[in-house]
């Protein structure tokens, strides 16, 4: 049984991001999308806007799903090297991580249970 990792990446976009013209934000977002597309065979990525909702320490969050932690790590390395990150428009605030049905894998592989 292959384990699938789920990560919820909490992001904060700073006021400097909102001060940019929308056309410039779209250009940066397109660059981020290109990075995500590069890793899409290995890492599923979904973006959510949370700023208008009860997000306390974050403005957005990303849900990533993968069974390839190396690809996940490389995806975020490239995002951290991107202009929105290096110019200080955004920051990773926290990552919540879990394994889908890990107890079932443990029972099957380690305890030989069906």
Would you state the pLDDT for residue 3? 82
Would you state the pLDDT for residue 101? 84
Please name which of 63, 64, 73 lies closest in space to residue 43, comparing C-alpha atoms: 64
Would you state the pLDDT for residue 1? 66
Identify the CATH homologous superfamily for domain 5-109. Answer: Apc35880; domain 1 (3.30.70.1030)
Q: How far is residue 62 from each of residues 27, 92, 107, 109, 114, measured CA to CA in Å?
A: 19, 10, 30, 31, 34
Tokens of 26: 């779209």
Say how far apart CA 105 and CA 36 lie, in whole Å.
Answer: 29
What are the pLDDT tens digits along the chain (114 aa)? 678 999 999 999 999 999 999 999 999 999 999 999 999 999 999 999 998 877 678 999 999 999 999 999 999 999 999 999 999 999 999 999 999 888 888 888 889 898
pTM score above 0.85: yes
* Helix intervals (H) in 40-68: none
Please report, for the chain, the start and end positions of each structural domain, with discontinuous segments joined by +: 5-109
């Amino acid at each position: 049984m292959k384990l699938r990792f789920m990560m919820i990446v909490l992001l904060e976009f700073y006021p400097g991001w909102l001060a940019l013209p929308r056309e410039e934000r779209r250009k940066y977002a397109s660059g981020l999308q290109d990075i995500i597309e590069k890793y899409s065979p290995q890492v599923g990525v979904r973006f959510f806007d949370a700023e208008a909702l009860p997000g306390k320490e974050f403005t957005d969050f990303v849900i990533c799903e993968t069974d390839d932690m190396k690809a996940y790590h490389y995806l975020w390395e490239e995002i951290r090297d991107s202009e929105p990150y290096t110019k200080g428009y955004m920051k990773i605030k926290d990552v919540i991580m879990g394994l889908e049905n890990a107890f079932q894998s443990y029972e099957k592989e380690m305890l030989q249970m069906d």
